[in-house]
């Protein structure tokens, strides 16, 4: 197995993240956050702050930095300090810059804010009655959709005609990304060009947003982030520290570093929405689905900038049914914004749908795997484009055999003081590609460099570049130097949506093919070593006339230091011919203490059909990380808000995430069916599917062990207490 090329730097502490940069003359910025959830700022007294030791700048909506809201492919990005409106507790409303971090922090505490407070809506339950239809999805689909069999007038009629019906409401808690690296930025201007060191999921996209906000040409911004300490969707947009540091550095003529404290991360960034989902499943006595209704509601910020697409991401794709109705509504709240988080839509949506399927299996007295096999889909409902490659049935069979599913009983088993249960769930995540461009350079020393502006937020993309680069150039991967995380490189798009390997990998193959053609033309040109000879390429060498010459030697022979080519790839005609997704089956065993009702996950197994696996070691790490997050969602994570909008547990002391003792040994298996209809590499995404279905599998296992059906996550001890 191949180890990550960046592993030595990370484990020795030599990897330099955004906030690790210290520049001559650098000063420090500290954000001031609101202490109300809704209202207007009437005044900000900054007199004491300005006169505090070391302070060189204090900015507010009444004395703002020169910024405006930029617009990108995913909409308008909010920029702080542009007006005096407050939409949530902990919103950035001021920025203090001083010679040291401590001076900036202490001075920020001296800023006195006068508010005109307005009533705030901070409870999802209280807002359900005023829920609004969500805007159309990214592909233009309406928020409400219905697909009915001929002669059926409504989904209610289809459910009424179903011999077996299960109907229930499920809910999921809000979450924070909790990345190890807090959002931060170091900004410096030189000769009118801005350089920003800041962890993000797409350096060229951050450069574009900063250019738009600062009203300068994109060529005047360089965003650098070779290392990112976790992102998970939370660093897809430019952060408040990056906007403020860049603008303050321009205003002051000095480099500025700004970093959120851990507590500030919980409000000054965006998180996952809370959801309430109503499911109704109707089936015949043999378990064939007749009707499925999935009505979803999610929290969103008052600007309605993001929707957690729980129904659209599950109901249409998981199972075949004769009748389907789905809806997506939003509840605007005076809480911090919501955004993409690992498997947006699919993670919370799968909890509801896969819990409901387990309830249907119980009602039918049918094995949960058999129920899913009987309703296997060949295409998303209403799309009529068959899956390019789907082996979910094999995931079930392989997983059941490895996990010992045949030993499961309908009511679990007892092991001393522990009640033991098994559960399972399906997992799906769409296989996507983004436009990407990659440059490959062959060097005269016999090595190659592969460069693109995309990022590696822990996914292993840096290593993938070297592996696919080596394979495409027919040389060992250790002769390929991968480069990421710099907007000066060709545009690599965003590392998000489990797209990076398929997107960048395909571009590498195109660039390599062009580069080899150019190399052969150079080799056979007049005066070159293979002048007039028919040549070919193999194992890093030009071959012809019974001779073989490594490309480095050839370049030296023609007095060239290097030869380069770029390749670009984007989704195309394949989207009109097939549907694409990765698939998986999640298996879980839990142990619930008979007396304390403590829940322990004792075994986890995931079997995945995700196309070709490029780097098994990294793939297992990604899948395991996703499954761990599924445990976290099921049993730990819940960002709780007080009535005034203040987070009650906005730190790592109160916001629970699993530790080593909470996680068992995780087993993961990959089916190996390259999907070359999706892309030339044959790979599909694995970064997010690992989390999908895990929470449902755990809840289903808890029911199997205890007979108690918990329809919300996280599951707590109180949920399992019985009289």
Q: Which residues are catalytic?
A: 688
DSSP result, 460-481? SHHHHHHHHHHHHHTS-GGGEE
Q: What does the alpha-carbon distance between residue 344 and residue 514 come to, in Å, rounded to a whole number?
A: 37
Q: What does the alpha-carbon distance between residue 315 and residue 387 come to, in Å, rounded to a whole number?
A: 16
Q: What does the alpha-carbon distance between residue 663 and residue 158 come to, in Å, rounded to a whole number?
A: 42
- What ranges in 276-345 are assigned the alpha helix state H? none
Angle, CA of 253, 258 and 259, to the nearest 5°? 170
Q: From 424, 419, 423, 351, select the one nearest 598 (Cα to Cα).
A: 419
Q: Which two tokens stand for residue 614?
A: 């490029």
Q: What does the alpha-carbon distance between residue 457 and residue 485 come to, in Å, rounded to a whole number?
A: 10
Cβ atoms within 10 A of the Cβ of 17, count?
19
SS3 label, residue 192: coil
Angle, CA of 89, 92 and 96, to the nearest 5°? 135
- In this structure, are residues 651 and 268 in contact, taking their beta carbons and an 8 Å threshold? no
SS3 label, residue 33: strand
What does each C-alpha distance from 481 to 351, 462, 468 come to in angstroms?
41, 9, 12
Q: What does the alpha-carbon distance between residue 108 and residue 96 come to, in Å, rounded to a whole number?
A: 6
- In this structure, are residues 77 and 237 in contact, taking their beta carbons and an 8 Å threshold? yes
Cβ atoms within 10 A of the Cβ of 642, count?
11
Torsion of CA 334, 335, 337, 342, to 10 degrees: -140
Q: Which two tokens stand for residue 634?
A: 């099921």
Q: What does the alpha-carbon distance between residue 286 and residue 96 come to, in Å, rounded to a whole number?
A: 66
- Residue 60 is given by DSSP the state B
Q: What does the alpha-carbon distance between residue 447 and residue 5 come to, in Å, rounded to a whole number?
A: 15
DSSP E strand boundaries for 202-353: 221-224, 256-259, 275-283, 289-301, 323-333
């Amino acid at each position: 197995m191949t180890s990550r090329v960046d592993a030595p730097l990370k484990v020795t502490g030599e990897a330099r993240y955004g906030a690790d940069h210290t520049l001559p003359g650098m000063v420090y910025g500290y954000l001031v956050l609101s202490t109300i959830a809704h209202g207007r700022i009437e005044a900000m007294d900054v007199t004491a702050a300005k006169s505090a030791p070391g302070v060189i700048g204090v900015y507010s909506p009444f004395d703002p930095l020169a910024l405006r809201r930029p617009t990108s492919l995913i909409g308008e990005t909010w920029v702080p300090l542009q007006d005096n409106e407050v939409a949530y507790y902990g919103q950035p409303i001021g920025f203090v810059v001083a010679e040291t971090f401590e001076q900036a922090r202490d001075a920020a505490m001296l800023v006195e804010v006068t508010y005109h407070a307005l009533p705030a809506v901070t409870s999802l339950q209280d807002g359900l009655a005023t829920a609004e239809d969500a805007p159309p999805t990214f592909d233009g689909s309406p928020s409400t959709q219905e697909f009915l069999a001929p002669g059926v007038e409504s989904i209610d009629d289809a459910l009424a005609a179903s011999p077996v019906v299960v109907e229930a409401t499920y809910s999921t808690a809000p979450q924070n990304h909790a990345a190890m690296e807090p959002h931060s930025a170091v900004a410096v201007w030189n000769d009118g060009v801005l350089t920003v060191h800041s962890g993000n999921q797409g350096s060229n996209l951050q450069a574009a947003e900063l250019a738009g906000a600062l009203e300068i040409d994109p060529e005047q911004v360089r965003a650098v982030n070779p290392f990112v300490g976790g992102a998970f969707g939370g660093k897809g947009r430019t952060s408040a520290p990056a906007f403020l540091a860049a603008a303050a550095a321009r205003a002051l003529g000095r480099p500025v570093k700004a970093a959120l404290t851990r507590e500030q991360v919980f409000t000054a960034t965006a998180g996952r929405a809370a959801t309430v989902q109503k499911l109704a499943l109707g089936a015949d006595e043999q378990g064939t689905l007749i009707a499925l209704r999935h009505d979803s509601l999610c929290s969103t910020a008052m600007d309605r900038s993001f929707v957690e697409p729980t129904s659209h991401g599950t109901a249409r794709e998981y199972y075949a049914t004769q009748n389907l109705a789905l809806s997506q509504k939003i509840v605007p709240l005076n809480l911090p914004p919501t955004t993409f988080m690992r498997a947006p839509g699919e993670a919370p949506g799968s909890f509801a749908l896969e819990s409901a399927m387990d309830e249907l299996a119980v009602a039918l007295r049918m094995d949960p795997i058999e129920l899913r096999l009987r309703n296997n889909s060949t295409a998303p409902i209403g799309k009529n484009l068959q899956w390019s490659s789907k082996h979910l049935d094999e995931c079930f069979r392989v997983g059941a055999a490895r996990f010992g599913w045949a030993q499961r009983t309908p009511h679990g088993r007892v092991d001393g003081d522990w009640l033991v249960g098994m559960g399972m769930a399906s997992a799906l995540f769409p296989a996507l590609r983004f436009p990407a461009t990659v440059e490959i350079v062959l060097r005269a020393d016999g090595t190659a460099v592969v460069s693109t502006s995309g990022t590696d937020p822990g996914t292993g993309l840096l290593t993938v570049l070297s592996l696919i680069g080596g394979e495409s150039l027919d040389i060992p991967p250790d002769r390929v130097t991968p480069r990421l995380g710099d907007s000066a490189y060709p545009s690599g798009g965003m590392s998000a949506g489990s797209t990076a390997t398929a997107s960048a990998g395909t571009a590498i193959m195109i660039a390599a093919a062009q580069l080899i053609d150019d190399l052969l033309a150079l080799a056979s040109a007049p005066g070159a070593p293979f002048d007039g000879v028919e040549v070919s390429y193999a194992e890093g060498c030009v071959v012809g006339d019974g001779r073989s010459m490594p490309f480095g030697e050839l370049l030296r022979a023609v007095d060239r230091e290097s030869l380069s080519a770029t390749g670009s790839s984007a989704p195309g005609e394949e989207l009109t011919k097939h549907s694409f997704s990765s698939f998986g089956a999640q298996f879980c065993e839990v142990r619930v203490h008979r007396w304390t009702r403590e829940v322990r996950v004792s075994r986890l197994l995931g079997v995945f059909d995700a196309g070709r696996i490029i780097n098994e070691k990294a793939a297992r790490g990604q899948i395991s990380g996703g499954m761990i997050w599924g445990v976290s969602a099921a049993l730990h994570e819940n960002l709780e808000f007080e009535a005034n909008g203040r987070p009650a547990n906005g730190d790592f002391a109160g916001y629970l995430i699993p530790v080593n003792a909470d996680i068992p040994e995780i087993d993961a298996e990959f089916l190996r069916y390259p999907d070359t209809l999706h892309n030339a590499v044959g790979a599909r995404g694995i970064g997010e599917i690992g989390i999908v279905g895990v929470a449902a599998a755990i809840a289903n296992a808890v029911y199997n062990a205890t007979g108690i059906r918990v329809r919300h996550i996280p599951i707590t001890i109180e949920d399992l207490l019985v009289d």
